[in-house]
Structure 1
Amino acid sequence: MDLRKLKQSFLQLQAELHPDKFIKKSQKEKDYSAQQSALINEAYETLTHPLSRGIYMLELEGISLEERDVTADVGFLSVILDLNERVLNCEDVKLLDEIEDEVQDNLLAARDAMVKMRYFFNIVESLKEKRLSLPANSS
């Protein structure tokens, strides 16, 4: 994702729809402007953060991501609880650095999962395109 282009688009849309530009307009137009401006802000925030962007991509395909979904993975929850406890009880910067390195390793693994997700989304898009190219009754 080109974050520079995203920011340019965001600023352009905000300039066009910002509520300050609708002060002398009807209440309906003011409400529309405020609503659209809020949606633009939310979209920008979603797209600029990798985690929220990934969650949004899954939701587009009807896959929701809930915190309770991870509760079945007791090993993962144990690691997270341990990391949180170590951070809370840590009194040494060197130990914090070690914990951070451990977390960074896990983030790299998460990145690999996101890369794999991208490939699956490419296949989903190919499936959609293929369906559109086939006659409606070809099953």
Structure 2
Amino acid sequence: LTPLCPSCSALLPPPPPSTTYFALFGLEPTYAIDTRALKRSFLELQQKVHPDMFSGKGEVEDWAKAWSGKVNDAYKALLNERERGEYLLSLHDVTIGEADPVTDPELLMAIMEVREALEEAQTEDEVAQIRQRNKESRKATIDQLAAVFAASASSSPDLERARELVIELRYLDNIDQVCREWAPGKEVPNLQH
């Protein structure tokens, strides 16, 4: 997929809405992607479609804005592991709502324990340890999610398991956010939303 005409280098109309984020960057629709290659493709595409290059050119400027917006949205979604998982699920007509709860009792207990540990934390070092453990849990969840989607190369993916893992990532991301914003005496928000 190219934004420029191969023969005259003129900007082409934006791709149809059905164009996947993966197709924009010439990637296979899989969870495990080379983020460096993604960044290179992103920068190359943005260089070709940046609206400033088409300023004052009427419809072509509108096309550039549409291309640039889609490229930015695609890059942001594919770069973030959780958003990439959500996007892949959406390609299989599986959606995750903001309020979808954790159904795994062990994960729910772990989230409650982390919240309690954050409430009891007195120092930044204690919070740094919580954040490090969360980072390790997040990496393990990402690895599991990659394995679920990789298994789909030979069969259909376990969409329910992938959905559960993406929800888990959302909570782990929330924990990381709370750790970054932690301050002594500051109320710890609910980690379950």
Show structure 1 runs of 5+ residues with no match: 126-139
Task: Within 5 Å, give how 1:62-101 maps onto structure 2.
Answer: 62-73=93-104, 75-101=106-132
Q: Deviations over 1:27-83 (max 9, x none)?
A: x22222111101101111111111111111111111112233324445534432442
Does the C-alpha gap of structure 1 residues 8 and 116 become closer, same or farther in structure 2, counting only changes over 3 Å? closer
Indicate the residue corresponding to 2:80 in structure 1.
Answer: 49
Partner of 2:160: none
Alpha-carbon RMSD across the aligned residues, in angstroms, is 2.4
**Which residue of 1 is the match for residue 138 of structure 2?**
107
> 1:83·1:99 contact (CA, 8 Å) conserved in 2?
yes
Q: Which residue of 1 is the match for residue 40 of structure 2?
A: 8
Hey, what's the Cα distance between the residues in 2 that align with 1:108 and 1:121? 20
More helix by percentage: 1
Partner in structure 1 of residue 175 of structure 2: none
Partner of 1:131: none
The answer to whether the 8 Å contact 1:46/1:53 transfers is yes
Distance in 1, matches of 2:144 and 2:98, equals 18
The structure with more radius of gyration: 1
Cα offset, 1:105, TM superposition: 4.0
The 3 A distance-change label for structure 1 pair 56 and 124 is farther
SS of equivalent residue, structure 2 residue 46: helix
With structure 1 as the length reference, what TM-score do the two structures score? 0.72
For residue 56 of structure 2, give the secondary structure of its aligned residue in structure 1. Answer: coil
Question: Hey, what does 1:19 align to over in structure 2?
Answer: 51
Q: Which has the higher contact order (CA 8 A, sep 6+)?
A: 2
Number of residues paired by the alignment? 124
